[in-house]
Structure 1
């Protein structure tokens, strides 16, 4: 009887221990599955965040490239206007001096103003090349410096000689250049547009 009672007690003890062991293993497997699901959710969340971040970055660089392209075309357009302004300035100054001094042979004055005209054309072309290939604050400053010189020369030419339509062109040039440029070009010129145009090399 004692042997039978001992076997029954041992079987009950083993069954209880086995049930506890199996339940503990089941709990461990459930915890592991929960951790795996959590890691999967984190990976899915990271993929979503990465996808959203990539979309935002693509949108930003699309806008940056658009602004840089606008700046480039605007620079070319304003440089063409500047070229016409320089031409009108020097032709008007030369014509006024020729009329004022009643010079029949003015080869010296012609060579002098022709040399200045070529010099400013070279400086304008140099500033345009800088603005295209570098597009930084220093190039903006150089372009504004040449525009300031053109403003001074245009005021001189306006006092010396004012052909029809010259004042209207001068007002249009100044308002376009110094109003539109300070609205959106000056803040963006503090950035390097080579960074905006080449995003892959900076990420």
Structure 2
């Protein structure tokens, strides 16, 4: 079976991590080797860059510098983890990828398309996702859900570099993701994330099986 590269995108708190874990388990039940990763991160070098950015240490440098750092992390991520696993026959599921840089730093924070395009060419090196699942939700609802879960779990985690932005900023981010999906209909699928986790899991599995018919044959 051909190895596939699936990315999950969306704003803060839409449930990407949960659904990636669920999809990983579903694919594993089909006998597929699956690697789960995230961006920024996935490799030691990329995780170091993640920590630096999310702590806000480069915020004063501007969104352009952030985009370059994300691309540097992505380059190492692709070369050290994503490409080797795909070449070895494993499916790769990533919590965020290049669309996040275009949405966050590009469409929301105003980094020119010319720079975003150049960074994508450098960092991806031809490794574009086979499928991108965009989990869409009103940012106000998403943050209410995050706060509720944190309270239930007794967690008091300070907001990171992006979580602390205004609600209007996050609404602009949502529009950015939807614009990316609209411009890439062959790759991107938009799903309403404001529903029960089980129902969303079923909807994602339906999309994946439809996109990759070999899963039906394997079953």
Do they fold alike, i.e. is TM over 0.5?
no
What band does the TM-score fall into relative to the shorter chain? under 0.3
**Higher helix proportion, which one?**
1
**TM, length-normalised to structure 2:** 0.26
**TM, length-normalised to structure 1:** 0.28
